[in-house]
Structure 1
């Protein structure tokens, strides 16, 4: 039960938090797989030492929206209050942001949120040294994730004026990216498989097909992140009208205002690139996935960040110009502000309800503390924990119907071995997006696992989720007369099973201690 304002954790697809995040190898990018959460997990662990972890988690959900809205408002402030309010509303309330939130990727939206701030920094007055420092400051939130760093660096490159600035302005972002770049060099090919291009390509999320979805800032690959409202005509029509208004503003203002020209180009190039990578360029994109670093952008829906902000800025500029040409200005301005904010809401009318149902904080069972303390209080350097069943996502009755990444790697002080390869089913096909599971993964997905194999891998603790999809295997050791002994767990609760191989195996003989198992 949640009793306090900061109680509970978030277990929503990719967005998972724990009460007490720890500083383990994964935080520093020394674990297996691509370092997608470097240095994000380290920052969360650091903040959680001085603030309630629940407050940190809620801040991560809200911060991208505040940064994006405020940044868009400041970016168009020269056009007046109506433009600022319009830009802020459309930057926060649009299908792109909605689908990323429903996918559980609020932290990666930090890359989207800093785009206007990086533009402001790159276009600020003063010497180049000052602008370099401003870009550095603006890109800090985005640099918490690799994708965010790429968005900030790409924005600095696009907003720069002249070749000298294009070479220098992205350098502060490159410096901030050092943690995940160095971690990625340990295994540059992790997750770099061609199937990722097919699995994570944009697709139709409503009535407009793939082209219509992308033009109106939607089209995420995961059906679970689609808004039901986008299957209705009027919601898509509202978004089409906004996009048309943005393009008209660009067409008539591109020759008079460099910012409007840049925003229009961002929309057209961004949308065109995403559609090309999902269509005629898909075979090439599939081959390029094997190039280290390219797989970071395999989810091409992320590239709609620039078009989404471009629409917000262009519509804001267009509304502002319309207000200036009418009279009386004050009443028209107020009406225009209310109308555009309402229009923004109408593009994602079911988002608040979906987020309230699916992304609300949940209370962990009391057993969580027992399981985590059992491992952490007796963990020794170099020991490993194995998480089962061998699959990356969990589903439990107490957390609701939404699947979520296993949160235990963020709570255990030992290095954790857990599944990372994905199976994505779409359009009647199943794409195996591998390349991150260890070569011995097949041995960990059996109904029986020989503890000698686990000991050879340095595993001491085995933790299995009960009630979550997948088979919990039986751990066995050779017994007398070629029999197999099934090891008893040190903890058997309603939600988890834990085995301690040090407790169950005699370190000298490798045989089970008396009472450790039952003959089969």
Structure 2
């Protein structure tokens, strides 16, 4: 194995070990059930799973993906596998980005991987249960790589086209492709074509062959880069916020003339939630302005909101943070991270003789600046006022209410700067002469670089020591009582399911102390009505739907079974072991048939249900087609990119 191949293998292995250290408790049997994360043994392709329910399609297409695949593979295993792979992909993607854009050696690559994996953003979103958002986060360095390769391939094709149209002159030199023009991850500068002054015979016969060969390789590189971008956007599109993050990265990096094609790819990758929003009409309703203050970024000890955002932390939920972030270690860890990033900032901003490389570096730095400032400004009084107006008047603007999510956009630039900072520190410590090219600084001794990398990794990881082992054991699998499967098996008729007690969050004896989303919507084969109301920071943020709220109100005031049936409710599930309001629902339940009961759950059938609220067959077909398109991109994108890369290597060898 070549030195470059060994470096890739070590970086991939390091990333895998780091991912497993973070998620180790999830390797045990059971299901992830923590705050917003709900995995179940089996879920179903209901209207809600397709995004066609009353609520806004925030869990699309992840719910549909699990509904389809859990018919063959345990749903809990699927969620855990996606999370582990996502964390690995984030770390290894950052290492690959440093290798491609900075020509970084192994030590700086591992520093970049550590920045991407071991940071407060990952810890806080893991504790909040945002496993699908972390998949979008993991796609960002790969999206940046695809954008860089697209720019490079486009530049190479344009140069080759100009050279192929130019008349051959005696003494001409065959063209050279630029680094990265092949457009393949890890194939930097592998397609160079150079020649000596052409002879008379060459001018008359084969002077143009290097041009044709370079053009063919550039075409293969373009195909590979577009396929890689399609796969990255689809992976990020597991959740709408992830799609926005990857889309912003792609649009900032590709050439202007590539923007229309990139937009088409983004729309295709986002088709499940865009189509669901259009068909259900839920997205046309404005969001509750109270959500802006409730979900505003939060300042951590000794940092303030801006310092927390700059340190990749500051989630709105003060309970979804590791213990270390509630102590002075938060300020120490943030200071260490920012110092390491600052060491490499100048090298990232000014380095790179290749214009495409330089553009990508600077665009990522600009995205990072916006990502840090946006949550901080959104937490100010005037910032919250502006966002409140936006969500109240612009449909779909509710996606912006959790502003701290967008700190993820800073990760690729932070990883690059940390890798460059490692190289800069090593060069200074080795006290070597500054013999450096525009793309690859030289002079640091390998042993010094390795030592600095080890120190940097330790400094980055130790202040956040409790990210290990599932954020200190908080992220662990749970076991559902057998009654859930019994309830699912007995729902064999029409009608939606109403759930008691009221509200969307539960505290079960088997789920720990943190509140969790009700697993019923993903556990049962019929649609479960939920109000979408979120209790946050002592206030309630309203959801978009109205029928679920009407049904809940009816149950809590002891309304008749006939009224429930008229509202399309065919079943009532009572979750007995979780606190919450029951009101006068006992009056209603006394008038309906009980079909199952145990210590945890009770299921009732409502007679004479009038089916309503279900989407039409046409709507379901359109939504399903959008999901199939997304799934095809998710699978075919990486396969096409790998196939094009293999063809490129074969042609290069031949």
User: Same fold by TM (over 0.5)?
Assistant: yes
Q: Which runs of 5+ in 1 are unaligned?
A: 478-483, 508-520
The CA deviation at 1:411 is 2.1
Higher relative strand content:
1
Classify 1:172/1:445 alpha carbon distance in 2 versus 1 (closer, same or farther; 3 Å). Answer: same
Aligned-partner Cα distance in 1 for 2:27–2:410: 36
Residue number among 322, 343, 354 corresponding to 1:227 in the alignment: 322
The aligned counterpart of 1:468 is 578
Q: CA deviation at 1:489?
A: 2.5
Alignment match, 1:131: 225
Counterpart in the other structure of 2:12: none
Q: Is the 8 A contact 2:348 2:420 kept in 1?
A: no
1:492 matched to 2:597? yes
* Structure 2 residue 140 is the aligned partner of structure 1 residue 115: yes
Matching of residue 300 in structure 1 with residue 427 in structure 2:
no
Matches of 1:441 and 1:289 in 2, distance apart? 26
Give the 3 Å change call, closer, same or farther, for CA 357–489 of structure 1 in structure 2.
farther
Q: 1:79 to 1:166 in 2, by over 3 A?
A: same
Contact conserved, 2:531 with 2:543, CA < 8 A, in 1?
no
CA distance 1:366–1:404, change in 2 (3 Å): same
Distance 1:253 1:14, change over 3 A: closer
Q: 1:342 to 1:190 in 2, by over 3 A?
A: farther
Offset from partner CA, 1:286-345 (integer Å, 9 cap, x none):
110131121112100111001233222211111023324544723222222222222221
- Superposed CA deviations along residues 406-461 of structure 1, whole A, max 9, x for unmatched, are 11111222122123111212xxx524333334352552451523212111012111
Q: Secondary structure at the match of 1:10?
A: strand
Instruction: For residue 25 of structure 1, give the secondary structure of its aligned residue in structure 2.
Output: coil
Helix, strand or coil at the partner of 1:464: strand
After superposition, where does 1:377-392 map in structure 2 within 5 Å? Answer: 378-380=492-494, 383-392=495-504
| Other-structure match for 1:454 | 564
Match of 2:628 in 1: none
2: CA distance, partners of 1:403 / 1:440: 24
Q: Which residue of 1 aligns with 2:415?
A: 312
Which residue does 1:515 correspond to in 2? none
Q: Match for residue 275 of structure 1?
A: 376
Which residue number in structure 2 is paired with residue 517 of structure 1? none
Cα drift, residue 130 of structure 1: 5.0
Q: CA RMSD in A?
A: 2.4
Contact kept in structure 2, 1:198 and 1:431, CA below 8 Å = no
Contact 1:388 1:462 in 2 (8 A): yes
State yes or no: 1:266 paired with 2:360: no
- Specify the alignment match of 1:76 in structure 2: 98
Query: Structure 2 regions of 5+ residues with no counterpart?
Result: 1-25, 155-221, 353-357, 431-443, 611-654
Is this contact kept in 1: 2:83–2:135, CA < 8 A? no
Q: Return the alpha-carbon distance in structure 2 between the equivalents of residues 359 and 419 of structure 1.
A: 27
SS in 2 for 1:157: helix
* Bigger helix share: 2
Which moves more between the two structures, 279-288 or 66-75?
279-288
Cα distance in 2 between the residues matched to 1:191 and 1:355 = 36
Instruction: Say whether the 8 Å CA contact 2:301–2:330 is kept in structure 1.
Output: no
Q: Does 1:152 align with 2:254?
A: no
Per the alignment, residue 362 of structure 1 pairs with 478
Does structure 2 retain, via aligned residues, the 8 Å contact 1:236–1:347? Answer: no
Alpha-carbon contact 1:24-1:414 (below 8 Å) kept: yes
State the Cα distance separating 1:62 from its structure 2 match.
Answer: 1.1
- Asked whether the 8 Å contact 2:43–2:525 carries over to 1, the reply is no
The reply to whether residue 93 of structure 1 matches residue 209 of structure 2 is no
Q: Distance in 1 between matches of 2:453 and 2:599?
A: 53
1:206 is matched with 301
- Find the aligned partners of 1:336 and 1:322 in 2 and give their Cα distance: 7
After superposition, the Cα gap between the structure-2 partners of 1:5 and 1:214, relative to the gap in structure 1 and judged at 3 Å, is closer
Q: Is the 8 A contact 2:533 2:540 kept in 1?
A: no
Separation of aligned partners in 2, 1:233 and 1:105 = 26
Query: Please, which moves more after superposition, 220-229 or 306-315?
Result: 306-315
CA distance in 2, matches of 1:368, 1:485: 22
Q: Give the superposition deviation at 1:497.
A: 1.4
Q: For 1:210-237, what per-residue CA distance to the aligned partner results, in whole angstroms no more than 9, with x for missing partners? A: 2221221111101111222123224422
Query: Contact between 1:476 and 1:487, CA under 8 Å: does it hold in 2?
Result: no
The whole-number CA distance in structure 2 between the counterparts of 1:448 and 1:191 is 31
- Name the SS for the 1:29 alignment partner: coil
1:44 to 63, 66, 83: 66
Residues 485 and 416 (structure 1), Cα distance of their counterparts in 2 relative to 1, 3 Å cut = closer
Match of 2:516 among 373, 398, 404: 404
Secondary structure in 1 matching 2:581: coil
Is 2:461 the counterpart of 1:334? no
Summarize deviations over 1:104-152 as a string: whole Å, max 9, x none.
0011111111111111111114245653333112212111111111111
CA contact (8 A) 1:156 1:169 kept: yes
Counterpart for residue 512 of structure 1: none
- What is the CA-CA distance between 1:59 and the residue it aligns to? 0.8
For 1:142-191, what per-residue CA distance to the aligned partner results, in whole angstroms no more than 9, with x for missing partners?
11111111111111011123x22334323211111111101011222346
- Equivalent residues of 1:199, 1:433 under 8 A apart: no
The equivalent of 1:237 in structure 2 is 332
CA contact (8 A) 1:451 1:476 kept: no
* Secondary structure class of the residue paired with 1:499: strand
Question: How far does the alpha carbon of each residue in 1:372-413 deviate from its partner, in whole angstroms, 9 at most, with x for none?
Answer: 1111xx234xx2111221201111112211211111111222
Partner of 1:141: 235
The number of aligned residues is 488
